[in-house]
Each structure stands twice: as C-alpha cells, then as structure tokens.
Amino acid sequence: MEDGSVAYRLYVGVDIAAETCVAAWLAPGEKPAAPFTGEQTPAGFAALQRRLRATAIPPAATLVVLEATGNDWVALAVALHEAGYRVAVVNPRQAHHCAKARLRRAKTDALDACDLAQLAAALRPAPWTPPPAVYHEVRQRLVARDGLLAMRTQARNQRHALLQWPVVVAAVRQHLDELIADLDRRVAALEAEIAAALKASAWAEALACLTSAPGLGLVTAAWLLVGTVHFALCAGPESSPRMPASPRCRASPGAASAAGPASATTARPGCAPPSTGRRSALRGTTPPSRPSTTGCAPPASR
C-alpha cells in the first residue's frame, strides 16, 4: 500500500542480519549514500540515528524500509518508530523482485540496503505501527504454552514406554506422573492468563465473537487475533474488518464493531476471497452437474 500523505525527503533501506544491520539512504532524485554498518544493539541503533540526524532531515520526513525476515528486525523497527521515524516493513519477496527487475545478480548486505532504499523511494510503502501491549502479553503466553505441550507429550510418551517393561520402578513412574501433573497445571494457568489478558483489552469483543462460533475455542481464537494483529492485516485502508453478528454478538450491542474480526464473506486486501462455488475447495474439482429435467441420470461424481 502506497503512502502519499507525507512528502518524504529521505528514503532509508536497512538490511538486517542476526548481529549487524546495514543502512543506505538517498534523497529524492539522488543516488544512495555510502552504506553504514552498525550492530544489532541499542548502541548500534543510536549510532544509526546519529548518522540519520546528520543529514539535517527530520525523522517525520524520513521513510525507513526493512524486510520482515525472522524476528531480527523488530528491535530496530521499534527503536526507530519511538524516535519519530516513519518505518515500513515489507515482504522480502518485494525486495527480491525489485532487485530482480534491475537484473542484479550480486547479493551483499550493502546492495540489499541500497535496493531497499530505492524500493522506498519508488513504492513509498505505508508506515508500520508496533502492535499493542496485549499482542505481546498473549503471543508470548501462547508460545510458552506450545512449549509446555511439547514437554507434556514427551513425558507421556516416556511414561507409556516405561509401562511396557515387565519391571517398573515405582519412584520413576511417580516422577513422571508428578511432572505431567505439573505441566497440566502450568498449561491451565497460561490459558487462564491468556483469557484474562484478552478480556481486559480492546480485543475482548473480537474474542467473544470468535469463541461464539461452534468448535472455536480460546486458544484458536487467541492465535487468530495474534496472527492477524486483531485482524489489522486483513483490513482495507478505508475501514476495519467486521464479523457477521452471531447470536452471542447480537446479544451484546456493538459486539460486532469495527474492532471485530474480518467478515467471512467479504474479500479484503491481504485475505483470501470467498469461494465462488464453481470449484470444490476441498478436492479442487468441478462439482457434478445438477440432475437433468428430462429424466436422464446425472453424471456420476468422481
């Protein structure tokens, strides 16, 4: 999505690695400046900001573009956003095809940073906004819960294997039983904390709408909200997504508000459009023809 609301005077591209970051910038109509390499630390982020301030261009008129690769970009993006810079996070495929369109085969961090700066000047992607605190509260608990579930499965498998032996040491079995019980308690505690964090946040109405659907529980709803950042990734520029009102939502005025989940029947940028009905979504085949009105048997479905 292009951002035409700001007259940018400086475009910055930053290529992120695990321990370093390489930045290159250019003014409109000019070539990129010599790349700057810094560390992926608060001191390195401060050094990059000093180099950008030396250009005498205010942060609000500077667009910084980073690739969304892994999690290495998050700390720098947050630091620059808090310093007042406009930060855009793009899909790595965009940068790849931007370089490919210029027939460039060489690949270095410095060249990638220059490509991102030129991409920023050409496309002017929309600025990125850090997710709210509830996102981190819920996501980190969901990830921790997944880890505990994997540990519990491993402990249960060990217990099952132990019981296959003709001689079972009671103390070993007790250790495994206590470990499994402790993991059960920790999983339940995390789920309770996830529910409390969501219900005390602005995501509460969306959670109520999602969990009102049969078969959709708390954890699945929480992953949906976290994975889409409260469905912001599915929202068009003109409006926030909405969800069709379920009986539970209709009982609460305003539950299916603009803060609710995306509609299942409305296609929005970044979301898959609804099925047109001509091809089977499960099998990928054309559905059988309707029975003929002349009395002939319909063709057999495959």
Query: pLDDT value at position 235?
Result: 52
pLDDT of residue 7: 87
What's the rounded Cα separation, in Å, for the pair 137 and 99?
37
Give the pLDDT of residue 243: 40
Q: Is 26 strand, coil or helix? A: strand
Do 40 and 48 meet the contact criterion of CB atoms below 8 Å apart?
no
Give the predicted TM-score (pTM) of the model.
Answer: 0.62
Please report how many Cα atoms fall inside a 13 Å half-sphere around the Cα of residue 266, on the Cβ side. Answer: 14
10-123 CATH: 3.30.420.40
Name every residue whose Cβ is closer than 8 Å to that of residue 213 and which is 6 or more positions away in sequence. 246
DSSP for 165-226, written as a single string? SSS--HHHHHHHHHHHHHHHHHHHHHHHHHHHHHHTSTTHHHHHHHHTSTT--HHHHHHHHH
According to the model, what pLDDT value does residue 4 have? 59
Check residue 2 and give its pLDDT. 58
Q: What is the DSSP string of 215-278?
A: T--HHHHHHHHHHTTTTGGG--TT-----PPPHHHHTSTTTTSTTSPPPSSS--TTSPPPP-SS
Give me the pLDDT at residue 256, please: 37
Contacts of 264 (CB under 8 A, 6+ apart): 243, 244, 274
b/e 25-58 (16+ beta carbons within 10 angstroms → b):
bbeeeeebbebbbbebeeebbeebbeebeeeebe
Q: What is the pLDDT of residue 104?
A: 75
Helix (H) or strand (E) holding 139: helix 133-163
The alpha carbon of 95 is separated from its chain's Cα centroid by a whole number of angstroms, namely 18
Note the pLDDT of residue 52: 95
Give the CB-side neighbour count of residue 137, counting CA atoms within 13 A. Answer: 16
pLDDT averaged per 10 residues, the chain (length 302):
75 93 91 89 95 94 91 90 94 83 81 92 91 94 97 98 97 98 98 97 96 96 92 55 42 40 38 42 43 45 46
Place of tokens 């992120």: 16
